[in-house]
Structure 1
Amino acid sequence: MKKGILVALAISVSAFSFAQKKELKAVEKAIKSSNFAEAKAALKQAESLMSAMDDKTKAKYYYLEAQTLYANGKGTDADIDASLESLSKVEGDYQNEVEELKVKMLNEMLTAGNDAYEAKDYSKASKYFERSYRASTKDTLFLYYAASAAVNVKEYDRALKLYEELKNMGFTGIKKEYYATNVETGEEEVMDKNTRDIYVKTKSHKDPGERTTESKKPEIVKNIALIYISQGNDEKALESMDDARAESPDDINLILSEANIHFKMGNTEKFKSLLERATELDPQNPELQYNLGVISSESDHPEEAKAYYKKAIELDPNYVNSYINLAALILGEERPIIEEMNGLGTSKKDNLRYDELREKRKNLYREAIPYLSKALEIKEDNIEAARTLMNIYSIIGETDKFKSLKEKVDMLEAGN
C-alpha cells in the first residue's frame, strides 16, 4: 500500500509540473503575439497551480505576469502598478530578464511622463514619474518630480504621501552639476561631464565649471507643512513647520505661513512676534506693517497700531486700507467723549465741560478727514469712506463739502 501511494504522488507531482509548463508556455506565446487578454486568461489557469510551483517557476510566473499587465505600455494604470509589483516578487532566476524589462518600462514611462508634463497634464505626468521611480528605486529624483507635478494640480493628498516618502528616505536631491558656456549663444548649459569636456575641447563651449546643487529638503518639508495648512490640520502643520523652519529659518514665506496658523488658532502674541520677525527680514514690505497694525489694534494698542499704519503708508502711499484703519482708530476715540457728554448735567460747570468735549470731538473729526479723503482719492467707489466723510462734514458744519459728498454717496448707492 505504501509503495502504491508513493507512485501515485509521483504521478501527481509530474502532472502538476506538466500543467504549469503548459500554462506558462501559453502565456509566453500570447505575449509574443501581443494578445495580452489571452495571456491574462492563461495566467489565471497557472495561478491555480501556484502552491505547487518551485522557486524558478514562480519567478517565471511573476516575470510573465509583469509583461502581461504592462502590455507594452498599453495596460491600465492599475495594471501597470500591478506589473511593477509583480517584478518586485521575482526572486532568484530571471533577474537579467527583469532588469531588461525594467529598463524598457522606465524609458517608456519617462517618455510618457515628460510628454504629459509638456502638455501640462500634470496629474498623468505625476503617475508616470512615480512609476518610473518604482521601476528604478535608485532614481529618487523621479519621486520628487511626481510629488511636484501632483502639487501643480492640487492633488494634495497624493503629493503629501510622496513628499512624506521622500522625507523619510532622507532625500535631498543634491548632486554635482557640470556646465559650460555655449560660445555661439553666450548661454550657460548644464550637461554630463564627458559631453562638457568634449564640447570644451572642440571649442564650441568655454568657461567649464562644476557646482553642487542646492538641497531640495527645505522645499519638501515646507510643502508638507503647507499641504497640512490647506487641509486645515493645524497641529500637523505646526509640527511640520518646525521641520521646515529648522531647514530655512529665514524663509519669509514660511514665517508668514506659520504666523497665519497661529492667528487662525487665536495665538495672537505668537502671530505678532512672527510678523515682527518677518518685518526685520523684509522691512520694505507695507503689507507686513499693515498686518502688525491690525494685530496691535485688536490687542488694544492703538498708538502702536497707528505707527504701523503710518509706516505702511510711508512704504506705499497708495495703501488704502492703512488710511481707512487710521481714520477708524482716530474716530474710535470719540466713544468715551460721547459717553462723558451724555452723562453731564445742566450746571454752568457741566455746560463748559460739554463745550470743551464738543470741540475735542470736532478735532478728532478734523484729524480723521485727511486719511478718509486720501482713501477716497485712491479708491473713488469706497462708499464707506464717502459716507463717513459726509457725516463728519455735516457734524462740523462744512455744508458745501457735505452736499458734495452727499451727491457722491447717492450716486454710489444708486450704482449698487
Structure 2
Amino acid sequence: MKSKYLIVASALLISAATFAQKDQLKNAEKALKSGDAQGALTQLKDAENLIVNAKDVEQAQYYFIQGNSYLQLADKNIETGKNLSLSAESYKKLIDIENASGKQKYSTQAAASIAQIKGKLINAAIADTQANKSAEGAKKLYDAYQLDKKDTINLYYAASTSVNAQDYDAALPMYEELKKLNYSGKGTSYTALNKVSGSEDGFNTASERDLAVKLGTHEKPKTEAIPSKRGEIYKNLALILVQKGRSEDAKKAIADARKANPEDASLILTEANLYLESKDFDTYKKLVGEALQKEPNNADLVFNLGVISGNSKNNADAEKYYLKAIEINPNYTNAYLNLAALKLEAEKPIIDEMNKLGTSAKDMKRYDVLKAERESVFRGVIPYLKKANELDPKNEDVSKTLLGVYKALEMTAEAKALKATM
C-alpha cells in the first residue's frame, strides 16, 4: 500500500511540474508580446530545469520564445552581437528538436529569423570596422559564417578583419579552415546601379541583374571577374606562423597550397616572400623566375616583386619591376608612387654629407656638387609624381611631396599652379 501512495504522489509532482512549466512559458510569451524581453528570459530561466523532460512541442516553444527574446534585445541595441548569436543558437536548437520529432511548427519562422540575424550580424560587423572596432566586427562575421557555412566569404572576411585587429590568435584557425576548404573566392560579380538609392547593388546571377534592369529599377549593369584570394590567404597564414616561430609550418603551408593550386601564380610570390624573410636568396630568386614565367603580363605580380625587391634593398630590381608594371598598365598609380619614393631615397646620403661640410673653399665646392646631385634627383622624380597626382588627385601625400620638390627646385609657377588645386 505504501508504494501505491508513492507512485500517486510522484504522478502528482510530475503533473504539478508540467503545469508550472506551461505557466512559465505562457508568462514568458506574454512578457515578450508586451516588449519585456528580459522579463521573458527570466521566466524561461525558471523553467530551464523542467524543460529537459518536457514534450518536444513544449521544448520547441521554449527555444522559440528564447530566440525571439534575444532577438528583441538585439533590436533594442542591447549587447547586439552577443544577443544575435544567442538568438541564433536558440533557433538552431528548436530546428533540431522539430527535425527529430517530425513536427514542424516553428522551424519555418526560426529559419527566416536566422537568415535575418545573419544579415544583421554582417551589417553590425561593417559598422564595427568603420568605427575601428575590428575585433568585434571579426567575431560577428565569424558568427554569421557559423549560421551559414555555405557562405564561405564571411569566414574569409572574419579572418581578414581579425588580421586588421592584430588578433592573430583568432585569425590563425580561420585561415587554417580556409586552407582546409581550399577556398579561393574566385568568381564573377554582377552589379547594377539602383535608380532610387544610387548605390551599386550586387546580384547572384547575370539573369537576376538583367531582370532588374529590364524592370527599370536598375541601370548601368556591370560584370567583373573576382580574382582568387588564395595568395593573400596563404600569405597571411604563413606570416602568422612565422610570427609564432613556426617557420617550417609556414613553408609547408605554402608548399601544400601550391600543390593544390599549381596554376595560382600569387602563391609563388607568397612563397618567395617567405624565403626572402628567411634570407634564402637563392630560393627567392628561383621562385621569382617561376612567377614571371607563369604570368609575365600580370601587373600586380610584377609590382609585388618590385615591393619585395625594395624591401630587401635591391633597388635596381625594384626599379626594373616598377617600370615593367607601368609598361603593362600605364595607369598603375602605386607603381609611379613607389618608383618616386625609391628614387628619393638617393637624397638622404646627399643631405647627410652636405650637413657635415664646413665653410672652407673645398667644402663649398663640394657643397655645390652635392646640391646639383640633389636637384637632379628631384628632377628625376617629377614625371612619376606628376603622373601619380594626375591618376589620384585626392592623395594629399602625393601632392605635398610634388609641391615640396617644386619648391626645392624653385619652380615657383609650377608650385603655385599645383597649390591652387590642393
Aligned-pair CA distance for 1:233 = 2.8
SS of the residue corresponding to residue 89 of structure 1 reads helix
Q: What letter matches 1:259 in structure 2? A: Y
Q: Flag the 1:378–1:131 CA change in 2: closer, same or farther, 3 A.
A: closer
Q: Are residue 101 (structure 1) and residue 121 (structure 2) matched?
A: no
* Alignment gaps of 5+ in structure 1: 295-307, 317-374, 391-398, 409-416
Deviations 1:217-253 (A, max 9, x none): 4432332223323444312221222234443345564
Find the residue that maps to 2:150 and give its secondary structure: coil
8 A Cα contact 1:260 1:271, kept in partner: yes
1:198 and 1:23, CA in 2 relative to 1: closer, same or farther beyond 3 A? closer
Q: Give CA-to-partner distance per residue, 1:81-128, whole Å, 9 cap, x none.
A: 333333322211531232132133233333323444455543343333
Give yes or no for contact 1:174–1:215 (8 Å, CA) kept in 2.
yes
Q: Deviations over 1:329-357 (max 9, x none)?
A: xxxxxxxxxxxxxxxxxxxxxxxxxxxxx
8 Å contact kept, 2:269–2:287: no
Question: What's 1:145 paired with?
Answer: 157
CA displacement 1:355-406 (0-9 Å, x = unmatched)? xxxxxxxxxxxxxxxxxxxx987632335x998x99xxxxxxxx98589779
Match of residue 53 from structure 1: 54
Give the Cα–Cα distance (whole angstroms) in 2 for the partners of residues 31 and 283 of structure 1. 58
2:211 is aligned, of 197, 208, 223, to 197
Q: 1:283, CA displacement in angstroms?
A: 10
Which stretches in structure 2 are left out of the alignment for 5+ residues?
99-103, 297-301, 323-344, 370-422
- How do residues 188-267 of structure 1 correspond to structure 2 at under 5 angstroms? 191=203, 193-200=207-214, 213-246=226-259, 247=261, 248-249=264-265, 251=267, 253-263=269-279, 267=280
Within 1, Cα distance between the matches of 2:84 and 2:193? 41
1-structure distance, mates of 2:190, 2:347:
56
In the alignment, is residue 83 of structure 1 matched against residue 83 of structure 2? no
Q: Which of residues 343, 352, 357 is equivalent to 1:382?
A: 352
The aligned runs of 1:312-327 (5 Å cut-off) are none
Q: In terms of mean alpha carbon deviation, does 3-12 or 18-27 score higher?
A: 3-12
Give the aligned residue type for 2:172. Answer: L
- So what's the TM-score if we normalise by structure 2? 0.59
Task: Give 1:46 deviation, angstroms.
Answer: 0.8
Distance 2:229 2:320 in 1: 37
**Residues in 2 aligned to 1:36 and 1:378: alpha-carbon distance in whole angstroms:** 65
Contact 1:279–1:285 (CA under 8 A) maintained in structure 2: no
TM-superposition CA deviations, 1:175-198 (whole Å, max 9, x none): 554457999xxxx98645234235
Compare 238-247 and 275-284 and name the one that shifted more. 275-284
Aligned equivalents of 2:246, 2:162: Cα separation in 1: 19
Find the counterpart in structure 2 of residue 368 from structure 1: none
In our comparison, the structure showing a higher alpha carbon Rg is 1
Alignment partner, residue 31 of structure 2: 30
For 1:61 and 1:204, locate their aligned partners in 2 and report how far apart those are by CA, in whole Å: 44
Select the residue among 167, 170, 173 that pairs with 2:185.
173
Please name the residue that 1:133 is paired with: 145
3-state SS of 1:49 partner:
helix
In 2, the alpha carbon distance for the partners of 1:174 and 1:380 equals 48
| 8 A contact 1:226–1:237 mirrored in 2 | yes
C-alpha RMSD over aligned residues: 4.7
Q: Do the aligned residues in 2 keep the contact of 1:259 with 1:272 (CA within 8 Å)?
A: no
SS of 1:381's equivalent?
helix
Count residues with an aligned counterpart: 322
Q: 1:115 to 1:309 in 2, by over 3 A?
A: closer
Amino acid at match of 2:87: S
Aligned position for 1:19: 20
In 1, the alpha carbon distance for the partners of 2:63 and 2:155 equals: 25
Q: 1:269 to 1:48 in 2, by over 3 A?
A: same
For the residues of structure 2 that align with 1:203 and 1:151, how far apart are their CA atoms?
Answer: 38
Q: How far apart are residue 22 of structure 1 and its match?
A: 1.5
Match of 2:341 in 1: none
CA change 1:283–1:14 in 2 (3 A) is closer
Contact 1:173 1:215 in 2 (8 A): yes
> What TM-score does the superposition give when structure 1 sets the normalisation length?
0.60
Q: Deviations over 1:306-350 (max 9, x none)?
A: xx887779899xxxxxxxxxxxxxxxxxxxxxxxxxxxxxxxxxx
In structure 2, do the counterparts of structure 1 residues 402 and 79 end up closer, same or farther at CA, with 3 Å as the change threshold? same
Contact 1:279 1:289 in 2 (8 A): no
Give how far 1:290 is off: 7.8
The amino acid across from 2:122 in the alignment is L
Relative to structure 1, is the Cα distance of residues 85 and 314 closer, same or farther in structure 2, using a 3 angstrom cutoff?
closer
One-letter amino acid of the counterpart of residue 15, structure 1: A
Overall identity of the aligned pairs, in % = 28
Shift of 1:170: 4.1
